[in-house]
Structure 1
Amino acid sequence: MAERQATPLVEAVGVTKRYGETVALDGAGIRITPGETHALVGRNGAGKSTLVSILTGLQAPDEGRVRFGGEPAPRLSDRDAWRERVACVYQKSTIIPELTVAENLYLNRHDRNRLGLVGWKSLRSKAAELLATWSVDVDVRVPAGELDVERRQFVEIARALSFGARFIILDEPTAQLDAAAINRLFDRIRALQEQGVTFLFISHHLQEIYEICDTVTVFRDARHILTTSVAGLQHADLVAAMTGEATGLAEERSRAAVPGGAEVVLGVRGLTRGDAYREVDFEVRAGEIVGLAGAAGSGRTELAETVVGLRAPQAGTVEVAGRRPRPGSVPGSLAAGVGFVPRDRHHQGLVPLMSIADNATMTIPERLGSAGFVSGRRRDVLAREMIENLAIKTPGPELPVSGLSGGNQQKVVMARALANDPKLLVLITPTAGVDVRSKEFLLGKVEETAEQGTGVLIASDELDDLRLCDRVLVLFQGRVVAELAAGWHDHEMVAAMEGVHLDA
């Protein structure tokens, strides 16, 4: 019995994977025991995604082996055998939005009658029974596109379990969830653990590792660095293992105060849009970093998207460096001097199959040529300058942006935002889904940009993003309810974001 308990549910040993000259994994490994939630952390490019692709049978290692329950992994061609052992819920959903929940759950596995027709009533009944078994409260008849991120994840987990898999990989599952949804996800993970499900949890949010995980494995530079119990592991030690140096995110940043007479680069007056936000007034001065904080539903994201022209307000005005762009006009905002980093680089920030050069320069066509013609040479020269300035790891500007790690993709988005030398830089959750070192680099670039005289507006619920700010405006239920100067304590910020301070 002891020997059976000692057998890992999943084990990768001595795994090496090369792509030409690039070594993605170098003799790395992981050992996951049944019933645990095991964290896999590391900087972008550490080898996490490559390991996941090997653990899910999408590719084979050049060297090393993978075992499930002590048995060798199936052949890559035997997809059914892989689905019975492991499934991955990716940060980018694999749900087909046009199909119903029931159709997504049993895609290509429809029950058919004697005439070969799909038995829709039977399908919906089976889907509802599956969701009930795993306590997922979703109507199987609704189109999956109507589900929020949280419920889509629960449906994907249920779909994985329907194949028989009891090992689920969660890839950045909290990147688009607010605090309440994260708590519900963690409750669901714990409940499924009690039912015999094992999780590999991949996240850049280190605090989540301490909240939900039993064990953590650290990869760095394609190698296995550390596997240890989360309990008793110091935060600084975890960061040091990930980065190879004793540095942390809590390092104090000292910024000179912005002069009171500095130019106002953003003036917001009486901005209102339905229930999203109401009667909002604030200013951002040249060289100042101002935060918009709040939980999901607070209106912070919608407010920032209004400033850059993605949304039109019902009332109020936005003035950028003395100009009033047409409400709801992104070109108008760009012309006024706005640079923008959107909240979702996958859907809003990048064209994956286009090159780094094309992605980084698409907002400045006037600098690439005349009469509508683009000079490839001029484009590549500008792109190389951006690559160097943002320390983007790539063999050249012609590489499709889809070939970059998450942190480097975000740097491309940042490069494009800075390409037109903006007077106002607006960023929405700019470090979501990036590793520790990329986060530090991006925030350092934001600070450097402000020091050069650009006004910065950061809309985020990430405390590390907000710590960079000279002051933070906190929104709750669409209204600014607090303004916190630099040096605030975490409990102050969290209380304001949750509306606790409103209790008289």
Structure 2
Amino acid sequence: MSTGAEPSPVLELRGVSKQFLGVRALSNVGLRLFPGEVHALMGQNGAGKSTLIKVLTGVHPPDAGEFTLAGAAIRPTTPQQAQQLGISTVYQEVNLCTNLSVAENIFAGRYPRKGARGGWRIDWPRMNAQARELLTRLNLDIDVTRGLATYSVAVQQMVSIARALSVEAKVLILDEPTSSLDEDEVKRLFAVLRQLRGEGLAILFVTHFLEQVYAISDRITVLRNGEFVCEKPAAELNAPALITAMIGRELASQSEVVPSARPHDGQPLLRAQGLGQQGQLQPVDLDLYPGEVLGLGGLLGSGRTELARLLFGLAANDQGTLQVDGQPVQLRSPADAVRHGIGLCPEDRKTDGIVAELSVRENIALALQARHGLAKTLSREQQAEMAERFVKALGIKTASIDTPIGLLSGGNQQKAMLARWLATEPRLLILDEPTRGIDVAAKQEIMDEILRLAQQGMSVLFISSEMSEVVRVSHRIAVLRDRRKVAELPAGSSEQAVYHVIAAQA
């Protein structure tokens, strides 16, 4: 790291190492955060970013390393201690109580009390006033007495930041804060971060969106395989150099497999006619053919996930019909969908996908076992053979197939979810945000795998917030806006073409 004429770091980590079950997660890692800077922490899934944050905030004890805050040695052993020291973290999944009010969430566990010495009664007027003051600092004017659940994810994210600032934070850690935000919400968040940076706060920003790194960051630290690679000003590390530092090699410019339009000379595998659900999705006509990737293009809230839920039986349509192989079907549950050869990798892998306490082997076997039922239990040997095959085929990085899947990186969890459904040999695989929150190399591997599956005859419905991914892998693109289908575009259409269709419908 450079030692030129620059201010002293407000927070510095040196020689941090950590192992889990004999697997090295961090090895001699360093990090410096300076006041009045946004510092991006970059690396592939499994590079050690999350582990470093958890060690820093007292979730995991380090095996070795030194920590200094404002020049003084520290060693937080709990998140509460880290917060008391002035290190606050806002995670990707908003970690608040949606049943409480905005003000209650900001001051949960630290409610202002009435009385000179702090009595037992909560001082509601003072708490609400302080909450409004904190949110005003973030340029947010909302009713702090309303339940948090009544506000959007973007507002909830701001409330999380307000809570972090309420303890007089010196360091603010943002772990994938933009993964559920649309473009305008990201701009508002960045405006707030620039304001906080101007106030002298040190901000650690973790993201997988390269364009966001260069839009907001002053400095970048790169980790690879649990080791420190480099720390450079953002202006001195361009995107190709950053990617090379992250993966240790130059990234191929594009997939070797390129989609092209496919003739539809037979009947569709699945046909939806006027399929809809009151208040969730306007009636949609959609055909899915074997050997084809159909992309869903649209902004957040356009109805993509709602359509996926209807096609997998997670929600019941009250309008329209579905056909599989030309025969009418009614999908009353996911079990019905699985029996018809339909699989779904859900948007939220942590809540709706993985079972964190179970092993990689058990997670991969879940869907196939569910289809077989309790009368035909898969033996441990059958599970192991299947898991080993997919771990090898998809390049899942794990110490063992019996490692709890919760210990894997996000990209490897996503590959395991893909393996779970491939084990059932589905005819139609619905992928809802399969690359969200994973690194650029893992994204390329997963998208290449999607195209290979289509070449082998599988039908794929592909949903992604990143339009570049949609246009890259799709043989056709169904464009949604305001919870209705507004157009279909052919293979080879540009991102601009998709956005033009969306804008033209305004």
Please, what TM-score do these two structures have when normalized by structure 2? 0.91
Counterpart of 1:88 in structure 2 is: 89
Q: Which moved more, 1:349-358 or 1:200-209?
A: 349-358
Matched, 1:483 2:484: no
Counterpart mapping for 1:14-93 below 5 A: 14-76=15-77, 79-80=80-81, 82-93=83-94
Are the counterparts in 2 of residues 392 and 408 from structure 1 also a CA contact under 8 Å? yes
Matched, 1:247 2:251: yes
Q: How many residue pairs are counted as aligned between the two chains?
A: 500
Deviation at 1:349, TM superposition (A): 1.1
Structure 2 CA distance for partners of 1:60 and 1:432, relative to 1, 3 Å: same
Matched, 1:274 2:278: yes
Find the residue that maps to 2:179 and give its secondary structure: coil
Find the residue that maps to 1:430 and give its secondary structure: coil
Q: Which moved more, 1:217-226 or 1:424-433?
A: 217-226
Counterpart of 1:501 in structure 2 is: 504
Counterpart of 1:442 in structure 2 is: 446
Find the residue that maps to 2:344 and give its secondary structure: strand
Counterpart of 1:421 in structure 2 is: 425
Q: Which moved more, 1:465-474 or 1:120-129?
A: 120-129
Partner residue of 1:155 out of 154, 159, 165: 159
Deviation at 1:220, TM superposition (A): 0.8
1:391-426 deviation line (CA, Å, top 9, x unaligned): 222233332221111111111211122221111111
Partner residue of 2:369 out of 365, 370, 373: 365
Are the counterparts in 2 of residues 325 and 332 from structure 1 also a CA contact under 8 Å? no
Are the counterparts in 2 of residues 249 and 464 from structure 1 also a CA contact under 8 Å? no
Structure 2 CA distance for partners of 1:407 and 1:323, relative to 1, 3 Å: farther
Identity %: 36
- Output the CA distance in 2 between the equivalents of 1:15 and 1:429: 33
Counterpart of 1:100 in structure 2 is: 101
Deviation at 1:259, TM superposition (A): 3.6
- Output the CA distance in 1 between the equivalents of 2:210 and 2:190: 14
Find the residue that maps to 2:160 and give its secondary structure: helix
Structure 2 CA distance for partners of 1:155 and 1:67, relative to 1, 3 Å: same
Are the counterparts in 2 of residues 216 and 230 from structure 1 also a CA contact under 8 Å? yes
- Output the CA distance in 2 between the equivalents of 1:124 and 1:244: 50
- Output the CA distance in 1 between the equivalents of 2:159 and 2:450: 37
- Output the CA distance in 1 between the equivalents of 2:370 and 2:174: 43
- Output the CA distance in 1 between the equivalents of 2:299 and 2:217: 24
Find the residue that maps to 1:313 and give its secondary structure: coil
The residue identity in structure 2 corresponding to 1:412 is A
Deviation at 1:117, TM superposition (A): 2.8
- Output the CA distance in 1 between the equivalents of 2:41 and 2:28: 16
Structure 2 CA distance for partners of 1:212 and 1:377, relative to 1, 3 Å: same
Q: Unaligned stretches of 5+ in structure 1? A: none
Structure 2 CA distance for partners of 1:453 and 1:197, relative to 1, 3 Å: same
Find the residue that maps to 1:438 and give its secondary structure: helix
Deviation at 1:469, TM superposition (A): 0.8
1:432-453 deviation line (CA, Å, top 9, x unaligned): 0011221112112211211110
Are the counterparts in 2 of residues 15 and 62 from structure 1 also a CA contact under 8 Å? yes
- Output the CA distance in 2 between the equivalents of 1:116 and 1:70: 37
Are the counterparts in 1 of residues 260 and 491 from structure 2 also a CA contact under 8 Å? no
Counterpart of 1:472 in structure 2 is: 477
Counterpart mapping for 1:92-491 below 5 A: 92-113=93-114, 116-231=120-235, 233-248=237-252, 250-251=254-255, 253-255=257-259, 257-365=261-369, 371=375, 373-466=377-470, 467-491=472-496
Deviation at 1:327, TM superposition (A): 4.1
The residue identity in structure 2 corresponding to 1:96 is C
RMSD of the TM alignment (CA)?
2.5
Find the residue that maps to 1:354 and give its secondary structure: coil
1:218-243 deviation line (CA, Å, top 9, x unaligned): 11111111222223643222111111
The residue identity in structure 2 corresponding to 1:326 is Q
Q: Which moved more, 1:458-467 or 1:286-295?
A: 458-467
1:55-92 deviation line (CA, Å, top 9, x unaligned): 22333433332222222224536944643421111112
The residue identity in structure 1 corresponding to 2:109 is N
